[in-house]
Amino acid sequence: MTTQITTAPNRQEIKSLFEKQRVHQFVVARTTARGRIQKLQKLKSAILERRQAIRDAVYADFKKPAAEADLTEIYAITTEIKHTARHLKKWMSRHSVGTPLPFLGSSSWVQYEPKGVCLIIAPWNFPLQLAIGPLVSAIAAGNTAIVKPSEHTPHTSAVVREIVEAVFEPEEVAVVEGAVETASELLKLPFNHIFFTGAPAIGKIVMRAAAEHLASVTLELGGKSPTIVDETADLKAAVRRIAWGKFLNSGQICIAPDYLFVHESRKDEFVRLMAAQLKALYGEDAAQSGAYNRMVNGKHFERVAGYLKDAEERGAVVEIGGRQDPETDFIEPTLVSSVPDDADLMQEEIFGPVLPIRTFRDLSEPLQVINEKEKPLALYIYSKNERNIKRIIQETRAGGTCINNNDVHFMQPNLPFGGSNNSGIGKSHGWYGFEAFSNARAIYRQHLPGALEVLMPPYTDFKQRLIDLTLKWF
Does 11-221+425-440 match 226-415 in CATH topology?
Answer: no
CATH code of the domain occupying 11-221+425-440: 3.40.605.10
Q: Which residues contact 149 (CB under 8 A, 6 or more apart)?
A: 122, 127, 131, 156, 157, 160, 161, 175, 177
254 counts as catalytic: yes
Neighbours of 464 (CB within 10 A): 11
- Hey, what CATH topology would domain 226-415 get? Aldehyde Dehydrogenase; Chain A, domain 2 (3.40.309)
Q: What is the pLDDT of residue 381?
A: 98
List 118, 165, 177, 254, catalytic entry: 254
Q: Which residues contact 449 (CB under 8 A, 6 or more apart)?
A: 105
Does this model's pTM top 0.85? yes
Q: What is the 8-class DSSP label of residue 259?
A: E
List 73, 177, 220, 332, catalytic entry: 220
For residue 357, what is the enclosing H or E element? strand 354-360
Q: What is the pLDDT of residue 6?
A: 44
Q: Which residues contact 417 (CB under 8 A, 6 or more apart)?
A: 220, 399, 400, 409, 410, 427, 428, 429, 432
Q: What is the pLDDT of residue 295?
A: 96
Q: What is the pLDDT of residue 7?
A: 59
Residue pair 463/454 in contact (Cβ under 8 Å)? The answer is: yes
Q: Where are the alpha helices (DSSP H) in 100-257?
A: 129-140, 154-167, 180-187, 200-212, 235-247
- Dist. CA 271–CA 277, nearest whole Å: 10
- Dist. CA 199–CA 177, nearest whole Å: 19
Q: What is the pLDDT of residue 3?
A: 35
What string of DSSP letters covers 409-458? Answer: GGG-TTS-B---BTTEES-BSHHHHHHHTEEEEEEEEE-S--GGGGGPSS
Q: What is the pLDDT of residue 9?
A: 84
Per-residue pLDDT tens, the chain, 474 aa: give them: 333 444 568 899 999 999 999 999 999 999 999 999 999 999 999 999 999 999 999 999 999 999 999 999 999 999 999 999 999 999 999 999 999 988 999 999 999 999 999 999 999 999 999 999 999 999 999 999 999 999 999 999 999 999 999 999 999 999 999 999 999 999 999 999 999 999 999 999 999 999 999 999 999 999 999 999 999 999 999 999 999 999 999 999 999 999 999 999 999 999 999 999 999 999 999 999 999 999 999 999 999 999 999 999 999 999 999 999 999 999 999 999 999 999 999 999 999 999 999 999 999 999 999 999 999 999 999 999 999 999 999 999 999 999 999 999 999 999 999 999 999 999 999 999 999 999 999 999 999 988 888 889 999 999 999 989 888 888
Domain map of the chain by residue range? 11-221+425-440, 226-415
